[in-house]
Structure 1
Amino acid sequence: MKSNFQFSNLCGTVYRQGNVVFTPDGNSVLSPVGNRVSVFDLVNNKSRTLPFENRKNIACIALSPDGQVLISIDQDGRALLVHFRKGTVLHHMNFQKPVSAVAFTPNGKYFAIGHGNHVQVWNTPSHLAREFAPFVLHREYTGHQDEVVSIHWSKTSRYFLTTSRDMTARLYTLDPLEGFKPKSFGGHRDMVVGAWFSEDEKTIYTVSRDGAVFTWNAKKTAAEDDSDVEMDILDLPSTSASAATVADHTVAYTRWGITTRHFFNQANTKVACATFHPQTSLLIVGFSTGVFGLWEMPDFTPVHTLSISNEKISSVAVSASGEWLAFGASKLGQLLVWEWQSESYVLKQQGHYFDMNTLAFSPDGQNVATGGEDGKVKLWNASSGFCFVTFPEHSASISAVEFAKQGQVLFSASLDGTVRAFDLVRYRNFRTFTTPTPVQFCSLAVDPSGDVVCAGSLDSFEIYMWSVQTGKLLDILSGHTAPVSGLSFSPTGNQLASSSWDRSVRLWGVFGRARESEPITVSSEATALAFHPDGKELVVATLDGQLSFVDVAEGEIKSVIEGRRDISGGRKNEDMMSAANNQASKYFNSVAWTADGSCVLAGGQSKYVVIYDRVEGVMVKKFQISENLSLDGTQEMLDSRKMTEAGNLDALDDAAADESDLEDRLDKSLPGAQKGDLSKRKYRREARTSCVRFSATGRSWAAASTEGLLIYTLDEGTSFDPFDLSLDLTPEAVLATLSQGDHLVALVMALRLNEAALLQRVYEAIPPGDVRLIARQLPPVYAPRLLRFIAEHAESTPHVEFDLVWTAAMLTSHGRLMRERKGEMAPVLRALHKSVMGFESSIAKLCDDNAFSLAYVISQNRRAEEVLNSQANDEVLY
């Protein structure tokens, strides 16, 4: 089995903190999620997460005007310069202090950062050449008395406006000008959120947090007692060069004054964020109550306002065309893109409010279901990364979710004492399973036929069985003396396995006369279990860090893998012992088999996920889910310089004390409340995985972690994996063979080179009439590779009939080989099945739409005929 899984995407979290940014073409939105950056493609309806990681949570990001360079700065002021299209890190930089704002010049040659109460302008490093000292400081600007909040450049890249918490805005020039002093814009009574130039750069707008909007224009006349008269301009020598300088830099030498003052007049509301679009003169403002509004300047004409969230809007951005607006709300993790002209949502996504507890792949591998502490069940599309439905029926934390193997049904178990069944066609909760006495469910299993669902309880230590068709309670299985931590049906459906904290595993004959069997004793409290795909073996995870493999027929433990050293890692800030001696992170809480049953995937209370080989009993690979130092458990050793008599300085909760808003500093949470409500958390979140699962195709696996739903895939698009190569086997030789009409030889050569673009070109050049002959003559060694390519091709291209013809020909010609090597071919066939099911769903939807349209046309025709007949009858009567 291949183990070169690479991080592919982060779902379940769409926005955490920082600022959201549009790409220059306006088709995508960049959103910081923890210490990563996710890109949401609004046109193709897909999302991807860039592969790099910052050291801590990202504070601000900026994208260059040409869309090539992305700069990402974390909470400590450590920056990464990233090649945006490739996702590779080019340079590292430490600004030595938290950075509050970053902005590129419109020409892309410089970028400015807010560095405390100073502003620094740096030369933009080249993304084409590797430089020894890439970051070169151009100038540092002073003048503000408090932290700089925002930076905005003029379209000529000569000037920039800064705003600060000292209730002023200031105008600076990129390069020194003769006789110029930075202009200060005062008069506001609260922090200035933003300042912008108009399109013609003859007007400046400033917005403060208390809801005041000031319009600044050039003063027409200056009185003798006017203290704003700038003597530096009057003292300039009257030479032609100085006159030309004043003419070229009108913005810098203008005497600015307030012409109008406007107010939003929103009761008990603060301005949280704002932006301005010069081409359309639209001012977009987000308020602390979750309302945003649009005003047309300079007349301050309200366009419309809308409430989009229950919490403060943290960030706002506008696309280059001014059509789309992006909003981020950090407290709820919401990301929204709004088209203001049509007043409709382009994108509306929200992750789980708190931790994600469990996940499950759909049988075709297209969708992923997740359950969280917020009591919501969400469905995510595995390819696009978007959530397309949310079920909010549960009133407590979700403990387990499972798909039915047949039919579009999803089951969920919760601590609220119910198991619910959801119809994935109509997206509704069609069945709710309850017990005679209230219990809390912590495990769930569905038999392969989808007729019986079982749930294990946390407090009564019993297993409850219901009929899905009738919703009636069929049986209660008793025998465990501790919470039932895991349930799993065998693939044949005739046995149910359960694990418990009473250090035992039990096998139940669900449909036979003898229900209970002798318990199988394991070494410690069992935390999870899973059936082998062939149903002959069980893997059980225990609290002492072991993976025990149980023979189902004999009821005995055949082998044990000791995984304590493999899973152990990461020390929390409040731990009094090192990670090597801490027992809390040395066990697995979730296990899953690979699609072919050769390996076991296991995750637990640490930052690692491990893959073990079943036959050899050795670790194949270990994955670290996060390197974010803002989370607990990512460091192996603590910094001794931060250890004081009061404890670790990182453990002190000083986030609320640093907030500037009074409502953010107030603590409204209950004493000891850590989760479950919208109170402010008083502790750092811990890097861990609560559930791991393999997809049915075996090409990817997912982990429900603290940061969201992490998806790892076998990305062969970037890896060169040839075999049977020779010196004369080149892309030019393949194309020459193809031009001569030797399609079979060209296909085999392309499969040997295994270059995706070349293989696609050869594949699509084969005439449909020759497909059956070529499939029959293809050597069997290339059949799995070609089938996998067909499955990938079917998902990404519109050649429906051509791919189906190839699929039928390959299955007809090589069916016997696939039956003999079904264990090896299972992932390939599942991927092929997934693509064919995608065809079926899209064509079925198209047929339904066409049938509806035809029925409507026919009904209208009949209606017209009836009207004509009635008119004819009336004429006959009269």
Structure 2
Amino acid sequence: MKANYKFSNICGTVYQQGNILFTPDGNSLLSPVGNRVSVFDLVNNKSSTFAFENRKNIVAIALSPDGNILISVDADGRALLVNFRRGVILHHFNFKKPVNDIKFSPDGKYIAVTHGAHIQVWKTPNHLAREFAPFNLHRTYTGHHDDVLSIEWASDSKCFITTSRDMTARLYTLNPVEGFRPKTFAGHKDAVLGAYFSNDGTTIYTVSRDGACFTWKAKEISDDVESDSDEDQEDQPIASTSNGNSNHIINTRWGIHKRNYFNRTGNKVVCTTFHAASNLLIVGFSDGIFGLWEMPAFSNIHTLSISQEKISSVAINASGEWLAFGAKKLGQLLVWEWQSESYVLKQQGHYFDMNTLSYAPDGQTIATGGDDGKVKIWSTHSGFCFVTFTEHTAPVSSVAFAKYGSVLFSASLDGTVRAFDLIRYRNFRTFTSPSPVQFSSLAVDPSGEVVAAGSTDSFEVFLWSVQTGKLLDILTGHEGPVCSLVFSPSGANQLASGSWDKTVRVWNVFGRSRAVEPFQLNSDVLSLAFRPDGKELAVSTLNGQIIFFDVAQSKQTGVIEGRKDISGGRKADDRVTAANSTSGKAFTSLTYTADGRCLLAGGNSKYVVLYDVREGEGVMIKKFTISENLSLDGTQEFLDSRRVNEAGVNLDLIDTRGDESDLEDRLDTTLPGASRGAGDMSKRKYRQEARTKCVQFSPTGRAWAAASTEGLLVYSLDETVSFDPFDLTIDLTPESILEVLASREYLKALVMSFRLNEKPLIQRVYESIPQGDIRLVSRQLPVLYVSSLLRFVAEHLEKSPHLEFDLLWANTLLMTHGRSLRDRSGEYASVFRSLQKGLGDCEKSISKLCEENISTLSYIIDQAKLQQQEDVDMVEL
């Protein structure tokens, strides 16, 4: 059993806070997800999340113009300098103050950062060299009287303009210019959110929170009207367009040319951006509406309501075609193509906690249920949610896939169990109890014919027929809420139920007798899991133990004391240390691996633990830390005494949201105790705890997922080719591989390309091999590279038009190495599934194409026969 599972992706969360931005090519979108950064590939419809973590939630990110360097800054001003293409942290740095905005200069040589009421400009570190002190301060700029909100560079990087809460914008030069004093743009009556240069540098636009947009141009010499600038600029030279773009901007006496207003009563401007090439101004409002205005005419091109809450961040790609919006309160991320008026991307995670998850039998999809009453289905391949079911009216407590057929079941506290058809995407069955109860657990028979649900208030287990929807039986005997149900996977018609009454009962569902001898435990039962062969049952209890029972002999076979393994993380209001705290010291979710050798356990803690449970052993193999985010409660082992005030109150517990600048952010309209639940969408949870509510292994065993506070975390085995330094020599370079390929040594070139593990190089060698040599190369290919080549063929099938070529490769590899692949089928399961997916997609597209052209082909054949008959008739005549 391999244990080298690495963090792979976050699926359940797409945006939390901070700014979103496009990559320079405009094809991908970067979004802060808690203390990580997710990248959404909008062309290939995939998402991925970097493995690195900031100390706290990210509030600002910036990407260099060449797309090589990413900077992410957290809520405390601590920054990470990252190699964007590799996802590797290069440097750590502390700006020592919260950062509102950070921008690279267009030439990529400087980084401008807000620093309270000041602006700092740093020289960009060299990502190719290892430096002891990579961040070198260029200059600090002063002049604003309140926090700086945004920074915008001129196109040639010689000057920049900043905006502030002090209702002004100021123009600075990167380097000192003789006779130049920073110019101030005043006249707004609220905080200025953004200031932008026009493409030719002759116009500046400023947008304030109260909905005013000012256009600034050069003042005429004869203009006797007092300048709106609070700087005395009588001695400044007149605008001159002959000195270049920045010289023109610097030497101009700026004055208000035009005042425009958005005229949205009661709504504030929240975010704004400008596309200089097409003169488009994009503005997001507090009521979830955004608009496009063409400047300088200020003509409204487009207005659309895209969210129920205010838009937190807006971005536009380089071509000006796609607009991206992030809504913090609902966790929404949208990409809108405004010319065709269509969504490129529309994603939203669970509004409240994610309670449960379940893998589909094929391992390609994951279903999740949350406190918001929604059931969402995520693709493990793309990381996107493609179906959302909203039929439940209360929190969803459990979800489960049928073993056969595309059916998903969900149980909820609204008193219903629902069955969803995943082909037509509809709710085709609703199961209810004779008297209303709340369902807290769910289990599906391996045959898919019977579904069972346990209640929290009547302490009963209900069984229904899936085909008829009728109630088959009610199992009684428990004296506390039934918290966990699981059917035996061996098909022995056994149903195990665990309850808070400190008992586990194993029912013979289809037997005549209802006499059940319960397993008595010393503490409340929290979770159950059957071993895949159905012979062993694992039970987690409130005192932190995992107890194993032999089902056939009804006896205890082993126990794991897991209190010390899962305990960790002191909450801000805990009066005792993490070692002595009783909270979070029990496992609330258990899952076996596909071979039954290992057990994965998670609970109300930042840890998920993997145990080896063969032959009654309970050896901890590995402990996974799901989050190191200090914005969450329970991630620190020791509290910082410097964060405690004179009254002995932890500063992290003080709710400072009343100090927000927006009135709607300061108001708290919720009733006491109404901060959770699907009905109240007006309040976001504050100070969340790091916890894992559900863990489950993929059917292939190559990955496992955890429903955690930060979303759906997916951990998978490292699928990359293992780095073997003994295979690499100084002569193994892309040039040498191309030389070998040119000499028609195809096998050698293929093996060398896999050693370097560069996909473009592998693709070039792969496509250069003639069809006649495929069988020979496949036979001589070392077994070490067979799985890698099969995986590459599967990926190539999805994108390449060379269908016959790929099918020939797949067929030859499977025929040649089929015996060794079969003997290690468990290890190669993920390769087989990706290949099966590629082949299935090809079959669907070809069959669809054939069906669409049947009539055309029939017509052509008929016409050919008719022409042939006419020719015969002509010959006879």
Task: For residue 228 of structure 1, report the CA deviation from its aligned partner.
Answer: 7.0
> Match of 2:832, SS?
helix
Change (3 A) 1:72 1:611: same
Q: 2:286 aligns with which of 285, 288, 309?
A: 288
CA contact (8 A) 2:754 2:762 kept: no
2:607 match: 608
Letter in 1 for 2:194: G
CA contact (8 A) 1:410 1:424 kept: yes
Q: Does 1:588 align with 2:587?
A: yes
2:170 match: 170
Change (3 A) 1:855 1:335: farther
**Cα distance in structure 2, aligned partners of 1:815 and 1:218:** 76
Cα deviation 1:729-771 (Å, max 9, x = unaligned) = 9899999999999989999x78996968698888778777787
Task: For residue 510 of structure 1, report the CA deviation from its aligned partner.
Answer: 2.0
CA contact (8 A) 2:280 2:295 kept: yes
Task: For residue 463 of structure 1, report the CA deviation from its aligned partner.
Answer: 1.2
CA contact (8 A) 1:573 1:648 kept: no
Change (3 A) 1:838 1:513: farther
1:53 match: 53
Alignment of 1:208-607 (within 5 A): 208-222=208-222, 226=226, 234=235, 249-494=247-492, 495-607=494-606
> Match of 1:657, SS?
helix
Letter in 2 for 1:655: T
Change (3 A) 1:436 1:845: farther
2:68 match: 68
> Match of 1:470, SS?
coil
Q: Does 1:711 align with 2:714?
A: yes
Task: For residue 416 of structure 1, report the CA deviation from its aligned partner.
Answer: 0.7
Q: Does 1:117 align with 2:117?
A: yes
> Match of 1:258, SS?
strand
Q: 2:702 aligns with which of 699, 707, 732?
A: 699
Change (3 A) 1:488 1:859: farther
Q: Does 1:94 align with 2:94?
A: yes
**Cα distance in structure 2, aligned partners of 1:839 and 1:243:** 62
TM-score by length of 1: 0.90
TM-score by length of 2: 0.90
Unpaired runs of at least 5, structure 2: 863-877
CA contact (8 A) 1:216 1:256 kept: yes
**Cα distance in structure 2, aligned partners of 1:104 and 1:846:** 47
**Cα distance in structure 2, aligned partners of 1:286 and 1:126:** 36
Task: For residue 658 of structure 1, report the CA deviation from its aligned partner.
Answer: 2.4
Letter in 1 for 2:200: D
Cα deviation 1:476-495 (Å, max 9, x = unaligned) = 11222212222112222222
Alignment of 1:575-724 (within 5 A): 575-615=574-614, 616-644=617-645, 646-676=647-677, 677-681=680-684, 683-717=686-720, 719-720=722-723
CA contact (8 A) 2:161 2:170 kept: yes
Change (3 A) 1:767 1:668: same
Task: For residue 644 of structure 1, report the CA deviation from its aligned partner.
Answer: 3.6
Letter in 2 for 1:350: Q
CA contact (8 A) 1:446 1:489 kept: yes
**Cα distance in structure 1, aligned partners of 2:689 and 2:108:** 39
**Cα distance in structure 2, aligned partners of 1:737 and 1:214:** 64
**Cα distance in structure 2, aligned partners of 1:9 and 1:563:** 27
**Cα distance in structure 2, aligned partners of 1:196 and 1:519:** 72
Task: For residue 250 of structure 1, report the CA deviation from its aligned partner.
Answer: 1.9
Q: Does 1:191 align with 2:179?
A: no
**Cα distance in structure 1, aligned partners of 2:857 and 2:739:** 53
* Between 155-164 and 645-654, the greater mean CA deviation after superposition: 645-654
> Match of 2:106, SS?
coil
> Match of 2:840, SS?
helix
Change (3 A) 1:596 1:135: same
* Between 556-565 and 572-581, the greater mean CA deviation after superposition: 556-565
Task: For residue 421 of structure 1, report the CA deviation from its aligned partner.
Answer: 0.8
CA contact (8 A) 1:750 1:762 kept: no
**Cα distance in structure 2, aligned partners of 1:663 and 1:727:** 63
Change (3 A) 1:201 1:86: same
**Cα distance in structure 1, aligned partners of 2:273 and 2:811:** 56
**Cα distance in structure 1, aligned partners of 2:828 and 2:721:** 19
**Cα distance in structure 2, aligned partners of 1:321 and 1:302:** 20
2:143 match: 143
1:106 match: 106
Task: For residue 791 of structure 1, report the CA deviation from its aligned partner.
Answer: 4.7
Task: For residue 653 of structure 1, report the CA deviation from its aligned partner.
Answer: 3.6
1:874 match: none
Letter in 2 for 1:296: E
Letter in 2 for 1:654: D
Change (3 A) 1:787 1:801: farther
Task: For residue 839 of structure 1, report the CA deviation from its aligned partner.
Answer: 2.4
Alignment of 1:822-833 (within 5 A): 825-829=825-829, 831-833=831-833
> Match of 1:794, SS?
helix
Letter in 2 for 1:611: L
Unpaired runs of at least 5, structure 1: 863-878
* Between 63-72 and 731-740, the greater mean CA deviation after superposition: 731-740
Task: For residue 844 of structure 1, report the CA deviation from its aligned partner.
Answer: 2.3
CA contact (8 A) 2:732 2:752 kept: no
Change (3 A) 1:804 1:465: farther
Change (3 A) 1:808 1:505: farther
> Match of 1:573, SS?
coil
**Cα distance in structure 2, aligned partners of 1:573 and 1:231:** 52
CA contact (8 A) 2:645 2:651 kept: no
Task: For residue 177 of structure 1, report the CA deviation from its aligned partner.
Answer: 1.1
Cα deviation 1:450-479 (Å, max 9, x = unaligned) = 111111111111111111111111111122
Task: For residue 646 of structure 1, report the CA deviation from its aligned partner.
Answer: 3.9
**Cα distance in structure 2, aligned partners of 1:206 and 1:658:** 25
**Cα distance in structure 2, aligned partners of 1:465 and 1:288:** 48
**Cα distance in structure 1, aligned partners of 2:775 and 2:732:** 27
> Match of 1:309, SS?
coil
Letter in 1 for 2:176: P
Change (3 A) 1:208 1:762: closer
1:871 match: none
Cα deviation 1:140-180 (Å, max 9, x = unaligned) = 11111111111111101111111111111111111111111
Alignment of 1:782-861 (within 5 A): 782=783, 786-787=786-787, 790-791=790-791, 793-797=793-797, 798=800, 825-829=825-829, 831-833=831-833, 835-848=835-848, 850-852=850-852, 854=854
CA contact (8 A) 1:722 1:753 kept: no
Task: For residue 34 of structure 1, report the CA deviation from its aligned partner.
Answer: 0.6
CA contact (8 A) 1:788 1:832 kept: no
Change (3 A) 1:646 1:426: farther
**Cα distance in structure 1, aligned partners of 2:596 and 2:806:** 29
Change (3 A) 1:164 1:727: closer
**Residues paired across the two proteins, number:** 850
Task: For residue 828 of structure 1, report the CA deviation from its aligned partner.
Answer: 2.6
CA contact (8 A) 1:289 1:311 kept: yes
Task: For residue 327 of structure 1, report the CA deviation from its aligned partner.
Answer: 0.4
Change (3 A) 1:202 1:710: same
Letter in 1 for 2:426: R
CA contact (8 A) 1:22 1:28 kept: yes
